[in-house]
């Protein structure tokens, strides 16, 4: 039974981390998920929505992005860094923490998982993977102010999964 629970947790994490919410009209037509539309459903294809319990407002942060120089190297939690994964680095948040980040200039949002430490440049609070930066539309600017919300999952205290 424990292994089935671990498999379910890994499945939910993969779905949530790989799922971005972009606020352009084309994506809204395909995804149809907004703050008011997210609710538990009984449909087996959309069962991941049952796992989302709450978004906790963490305020705003100054975000930058990192990618090519670190791609393929170890992150602080021991993973290999993939610049095209939806991940982020933060100095204090627990590894595995899921965050919904929203670009305050264009309302584009993405869900990321904390897997690294940083940033180490004064005035910056969170470093995003290249994929996350692309999804938020911040590649050109490089540094932006974002709204940060922590995602709480039903029955899971910390979504970190031991790999060994």
Tell me which of 135 and 26 has the higher pLDDT.
135
Exposure string of 69-97, with b = 16+ CB inside 10 Å and e = fewer, is: ebeeeebebeeebbbebbbbbbeebebbb
pLDDT over 70 percentage in the chain: 63
Report whether pLDDT(29) > 80: no
Quote the pLDDT of residue 153: 84
- State pTM to two decimals: 0.67
Quote the pLDDT of residue 67: 83
Instruction: Please give the average per-residue pLDDT across 27-44, as a whole number.
Output: 35
Could you give all domains of the chain from N- to C-terminal order, each with its CATH number? Answer: 2-153 (2.40.40.10)
Query: Which of the four pLDDT bands, split at 50, 70 and 90, describes residue 154?
Result: confident
Q: Measuring CA to CA, which residue among 162, 159, 163 is closest to residue 9?
A: 159
Quote the pLDDT of residue 39: 34
Report whether pLDDT(132) > 80: yes
Q: How many CA atoms lie within 13 A of 96 on its CB side?
A: 14
Using DSSP's 3-state secondary structure scheme, residue 60 falls into strand
């Amino acid at each position: 039974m424990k292994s089935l629970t671990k498999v379910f947790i890994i499945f939910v994490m993969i779905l949530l981390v790989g799922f971005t919410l972009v606020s352009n009209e084309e994506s809204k037509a395909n995804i149809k998920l907004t703050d008011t539309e997210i609710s538990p459903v009984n449909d087996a294809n959309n069962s991941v929505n049952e796992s989302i319990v709450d978004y906790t407002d963490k305020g705003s942060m100054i975000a930058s992005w990192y990618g090519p120089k670190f791609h393929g190297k170890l992150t602080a939690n021991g993973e290999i860094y993939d610049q095209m994964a939806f991940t982020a680095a933060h100095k204090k948040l627990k590894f595995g923490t899921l965050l919904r980040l929203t670009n305050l200039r264009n309302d584009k949002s993405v869900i990321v998982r904390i897997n690294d430490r940083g940033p180490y440049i004064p005035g910056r609070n969170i470093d995003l993977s290249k994929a996350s930066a692309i999804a938020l539309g911040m590649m050109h600017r490089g540094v932006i102010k974002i709204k940060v919300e922590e995602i709480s999952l039903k029955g899971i205290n910390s979504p970190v999964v031991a790999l060994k």
